[in-house]
């Protein structure tokens, strides 16, 4: 995979190159002063029927915008659009790719001239909670109630993994499709571990003992990139906190409950990871970007790397023949963790939504229905080495070593698979604060109490800010 499709590099670079469009397709237009800026813009509609449950105009075109990152864009150009046009041949799809989503899309949302379907991702991601509050995202209730394109007898919602619809739900209504199903854990080179006879740990004592062995071998035992991937460390801390005290710990954090961040489970998790930072970190990695640290792992200079199951595909071009990705669950921190060592954080990610004030929002929803077909989901997995929220779409298909390992971890987890947290998409200020606090804890010797107090203050500042729309989860 070329650097232009390296998801985490492109989504974090401050100097990203902006718009990239495939040959023969149009770039995004600024549309300043467009006649479409009025909320009264005429929107394309058609007649609802069994074959057209969303009531789209079969001849109306749609405009889609895809984030150009680690998942690439071929799934849109080579799979989803052809499938959409197979059913709706008279509907022209105008496609654009961007690495700067907010910079290019937000002005169009505000002017009422938005693309019909948008992939909201990357370092320049838009605050989706604010988009929902502003009425700029279309309600997807009718999409999820519509019949699946190719799974007979089921609605779109009924074809998805548990929790998929809920992850895009705000105050009881669904506004987003979180499409890519990501398994989170600790990634390592299986061939390196086999060569050194390093056993995969399940307890914290065994984990730190292994880190000592790895350090003695001249390899950085555990790392992440502080410059643009500090949320990987936030995920590690939150996962450990949930395993110590159950997912309720994360629900309380999402719900801005007073004292949620100073919960003993969060403090224990922060203390454990803070010690790893003090003893086993490479301080220079604070200033590195994700691909720089990931390349070091491919060179066997870093052993464990906390990440999601997109990692293998993202590093495809840099992975040598002697490297085989594998993933393990985060080890138990205490002997009394409420969830077992095999428990896994897996969640839907990559936001896709239909714009409420575009020319053809129903067409945008129909494009999403196409993406949520079993055929499209399977091809997405083949292209990206990433699962989707379409349940069982990749069953029986030969997949890569890393994704196979992630699937095995899911299988071992059984019922102990938890969604994780939502504050990072609900409250950007809290997300920003968590990234900085994680870096302070891990790379700068910050103590667990300081981490908890800092985040508690940030959480309650958001809670008391009446200008911020609040969301709840149960």
Examine the domain organization and report whether 156 and 200 are in the same domain: no
Residues 260-284: tens digit of each pLDDT? 999 999 999 999 999 999 999 999 9
Residue 293 lies in a domain: yes
Examine the domain organization and report whether 316 and 446 are in the same domain: yes
Residue 472 lies in a domain: no
Residue 471 lies in a domain: no
Task: Please give the average per-residue pLDDT across 461-469, as a whole number.
Answer: 95
Residues 42-100: tens digit of each pLDDT? 899 999 999 999 999 999 999 999 999 878 899 999 999 999 999 999 999 999 999 99
Average pLDDT, the chain: 89
DSSP string over 302-360: EEEEEEETTHHHHTGGG--TT--EEEEPPPBSSTT-SS-TT-EEEEEEEEEEEBTTSS-
Examine the domain organization and report whether 126 and 193 are in the same domain: no
Examine the domain organization and report whether 193 and 239 are in the same domain: yes
Task: Report the CATH number that the domain containing residue 365 is assigned in CATH.
Answer: 3.40.190.10
Examine the domain organization and report whether 193 and 267 are in the same domain: yes
Cα 360 to Cα 19, 219, 366: the distances in Å are 22, 54, 10
What integer pLDDT is reported at residue 41 of this predicted model?
Answer: 61
Residue 34 lies in a domain: yes
Residue 469 lies in a domain: no
pTM: 0.72
Rounded-to-integer distance, Cα 447 and Cα 451, Å: 6
Examine the domain organization and report whether 433 and 300 are in the same domain: yes
What integer pLDDT is reported at residue 394 of this predicted model?
Answer: 83
Rounded-to-integer distance, Cα 118 and Cα 129, Å: 15
What integer pLDDT is reported at residue 17 of this predicted model?
Answer: 23
Query: For the chain, what percent of residues have pLDDT higher than 70?
Result: 91
pLDDT interval class at 164 (50, 70, 90): confident
Residue 203 lies in a domain: yes
Give the domain range for residue 255.
Answer: 184-346+414-464
Residue 367 lies in a domain: yes
Residue 112 lies in a domain: yes
pLDDT interval class at 352 (50, 70, 90): very high
Residues 65-77: tens digit of each pLDDT? 999 987 889 999 9
Examine the domain organization and report whether 340 and 308 are in the same domain: yes
Examine the domain organization and report whether 204 and 143 are in the same domain: no
Task: Please give the average per-residue pLDDT across 146-174, as a whole number.
Answer: 92
Count of the separate structural domains present in the chain: 2
Residues 290-302: tens digit of each pLDDT? 999 999 999 999 9
């Amino acid at each position: 995979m070329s650097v232009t499709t390296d998801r985490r590099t492109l989504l974090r670079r401050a100097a990203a190159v902006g718009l990239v469009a495939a040959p023969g397709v149009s770039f995004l237009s600024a549309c300043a002063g467009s006649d479409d800026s009025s909320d009264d813009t005429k929107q394309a509609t058609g007649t609802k029927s069994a074959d057209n449950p969303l009531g789209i105009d079969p001849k109306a075109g749609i405009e889609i915008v895809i984030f150009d990152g680690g998942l690439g864009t071929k799934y849109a150009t080579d799979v989803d659009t052809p499938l959409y046009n197979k059913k709706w041949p008279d509907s022209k799809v105008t496609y654009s790719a961007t690495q700067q989503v907010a910079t290019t899309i937000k002005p169009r949302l505000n002017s009422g001239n938005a693309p019909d379907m948008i992939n909201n991702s990357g370092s320049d991601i838009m605050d989706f909670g604010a988009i929902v509050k502003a009425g700029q995202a279309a309600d997807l209730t009718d999409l999820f109630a519509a019949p699946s394109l190719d799974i007979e007898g089921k609605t779109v919602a009924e074809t998805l993994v548990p929790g998929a619809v809920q992850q895009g739900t705000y105050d009881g209504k669904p506004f987003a499709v979180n499409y890519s199903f990501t398994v989170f854990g600790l990634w390592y080179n299986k061939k390196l571990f086999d060569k050194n006879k390093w056993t995969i740990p399940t307890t914290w004592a065994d984990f730190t003992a292994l880190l000592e062995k790895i350090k003695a071998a001249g390899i950085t035992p555990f790392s992440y990139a502080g410059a643009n991937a500090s949320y990987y460390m936030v995920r590690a801390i939150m996962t450990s906190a949930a395993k110590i005290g159950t997912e309720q710990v994360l629900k309380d954090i999402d719900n801005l409950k007073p004292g949620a961040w100073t919960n003993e489970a969060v403090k224990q998790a922060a203390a454990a990871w803070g010690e790893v930072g003090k003893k086993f970190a490479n301080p220079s990695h604070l200033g590195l970007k994700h691909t720089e640290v990931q390349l070091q792992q491919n060179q066997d200079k870093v052993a464990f790397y906390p990440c999601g199951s997109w990692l293998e595909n993202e590093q495809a071009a840099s992975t040598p023949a002697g490297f085989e990705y594998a993933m393990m669950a985060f080890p138990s921190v205490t002997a009394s963790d409420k969830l077992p060592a095999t428990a896994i954080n897996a969640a839907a990610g990559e936001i896709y939504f239909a714009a409420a004030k575009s020319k053809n929002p129903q067409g945008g929803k129909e494009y999403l229905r196409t993406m949520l077909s079993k055929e499209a989901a399977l091809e997405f997995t083949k292209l990206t080495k990433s699962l989707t929220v379409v349940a069982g779409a990749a069953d029986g298909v030969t997949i890569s070593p890393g994704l196979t390992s992630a699937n095995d971890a899911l299988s071992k987890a059984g019922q102990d698979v938890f969604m994780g947290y939502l504050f990072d998409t609900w409250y950007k200020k809290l997300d920003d604060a968590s990234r900085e606090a994680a870096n302070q804890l891990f790379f700068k010797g910050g103590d667990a109490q300081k981490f908890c107090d800092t985040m508690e203050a940030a959480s309650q500042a958001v809670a008391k800010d009446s200008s911020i729309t609040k969301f709840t989860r149960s």
